[in-house]
Amino acid sequence: MKKFLGFKFFQTLAVMIFALSCSAQNDAKLMSYVGVEVPKDSLDNFLVSKMETLHIPGLSMAVLDKGRVVYHNTFGYADVAKKIPVTDKTIFEAASLSKSVFAFFTMKYVDEGRLNLDRPLYEYLPFPDIEHDERYKKITARMVLSHRSGFPNWRENEEDKELKIKFEPGSDYEYSGEGYQYLAMVLRQLDGTDWDGLETSFQKQVAKPVQMEHSSFIPSKVMMQNKAEPYDRNGERIDWENSYWYKKDKGTFVAASSLHTEPIDFSKWMMAIMNGEGLSVESFENLLKHHSLTATTSTGMNIYYTLGFLNPDQNYSTTYIHNGDNEGFTSWYLLDTEKKWGYVLFTNSDNGGSLGNELWNYFEKEKY
C-alpha cells in the first residue's frame, strides 16, 4: 500500500528551513497584498504546515513587492529517497504557467509585424490533423491564446483520441493546449526552423532580454540534472522517464506546458509584465484585456481569460493569475500590475494545486 510522507519527514523539513533561510531576501520587508507587514518566519511556518497537510515533498517560492523580490525561500526535498534538498538551483516544470510566457513570446512576433492576431492561422500553416473540418480555417492566434479555438485541451483526453473542433471557433471558451501547440507550430514556420530553433528564438526574444538564465521550454542537460523529481498524490515518485507525456513531448517546444524554470527566474518575467517592458503599448493592451469569460463566483465576481492570463474583475481588476498542473508538478503565480506586487511558487507534487489560492487568502489577512 502506498503511504503519505510521514511526520519524521516534515520534522526534518522544519529543521531545514533554518539551513536554507539564506535563500530568502534579507533586507527588504515582506508586505502582504493589503499592505500589512508579514513576519518571514510566519510565512515559513505557514508553508511548512501546508506542505505537511498536503503531503508536498518540495517547494520553492518568491514574493515581489514594488517590482523586486522581497522574499525567496526553498523547502523540503527535490529527491526524497536521496535526501537531496530543494535549493536555489532546483528546476521545476512550470506546467500551464507556460501559457502566459508563451503568449508574451507570441506578441513579439506581432510587434515585428510577422503575425496578425486576427489572421487565420491556416494561412500561415495548414494543419493536416484537422483539415477534415473546414471550420479550422477560422481559427486565429487571438482565439488560440484566449481558448476560443474550439479545440479540446488535449486530443488524448478525448474518448476517440482524435483532434476535433467542439464548437464554432470564436463563439465559446474551452481551455485548450492543442490550440497553443498549433500556434507554436505557426511560430516555428515563421522562423523557418525546428523546435530547437524556436527555443533559440525564445531565448533571444524573451529569456535573454528579461535575464531569465534558467528557463527553457526545451530543458538542457544541466537543467535536467538540477530538476526536482516529481511525486504523485500518495507521495510516491513518478517514473517520469517512462511516462506517456515525457516520451511524447521529449525534445518538443510545448507551448502550453513545457517551460522549466525556478522562482527567481520566473519573477524576472513577472517584473517585465508589471513594468510594461518588452512589448509595445498596443501589444500589452491586447495581452491583458478580457477576451473570454471563464467563470462567475458566488459573490458575483467574474473571472476572465485574456491572452494567456486569468484576470478577475471588481477589486482585483489589475491582478493577473495562472496555475499549473503537470504530472508530479504544480505551480501558481499572481501579479498585480498596479501595486507591482505578486508571488510565484513551484512544487514537485500533484498535491500543490490548492496552495496558490490558499496563499492568496493568507496574503489578504489584516493580522499575522
The structural domains of the chain, ordered by start, are: 1-91+225-236+258-276+323-368 (3.40.710.10), 101-205 (no CATH)
Cα–Cα separations (whole angstroms), residue 366 to 35, 333, 352, 359: 9, 21, 25, 14
Q: Report whether pLDDT(23) > 50.
A: no
Q: Which residue matches cell numbers 506586487?
A: 341
Question: Which pLDDT belongs to residue 5?
Answer: 47
Q: Distance between CA atoms of 124 and 69, rounded to whole angstroms? A: 40
Average pLDDT over residues 70-92: 98
Q: State the amino acid at position 273 in one-letter form.
A: I
pLDDT score, position 246: 83
pLDDT at position 332, please?
98
Report CA-CA distances (Å) from 21 to 71, 115, 175, 255, 315: 10, 45, 38, 34, 34
pLDDT in the model for residue 27: 67
Instruction: Read off the amino acid at residue 136.
Output: Y
- Give me the mean pLDDT over the 203-227 stretch: 97
Instruction: Answer whether 62's CB lies under 8 Å from 74's CB.
Output: no
For the segment 336-360, the average pLDDT, to the nearest whole number, is 96
| Distance, CA of 320 to CA of 104 (rounded, Å) | 13
CA atoms of 188 and 254, how far apart (whole Å): 12
Interacting residues of 275 by C-beta distance below 8 A, sequence separation 6+ = 67, 340
pLDDT over 70 (residue 11): no
Question: Could you tell me if residue 340 is left (phi over 0), alpha (psi between -120 and 50 degrees) or otherwise beta?
Answer: left
Cβ count near 138 (within 10 Å): 17
Q: Reply yes or no on whether the pLDDT at 15 is more than 60.
A: no
- Average pLDDT rounded to a whole number, residues 5-34: 56
DSSP letter for each residue of 62-92: EEEETTEEEEEEEEEEEETTTTEEP-TT-BE
Q: Is the pLDDT of residue 338 over 70?
A: yes
As beta bridge partners, residue 292 has 305
Confidence of residue 264 (pLDDT cuts 50, 70, 90): very high
Q: Phi then psi for 52, rounded to 5 degrees?
A: -70, -45
Considering the chain, what percentage of its residues have pLDDT values greater than 90?
Answer: 90
Q: What's the average model confidence in pLDDT over 234-255? A: 93
Mean pLDDT, rounded, for 84-95: 98
The model's confidence at residue 90, banded by pLDDT at 50, 70 and 90, is: very high
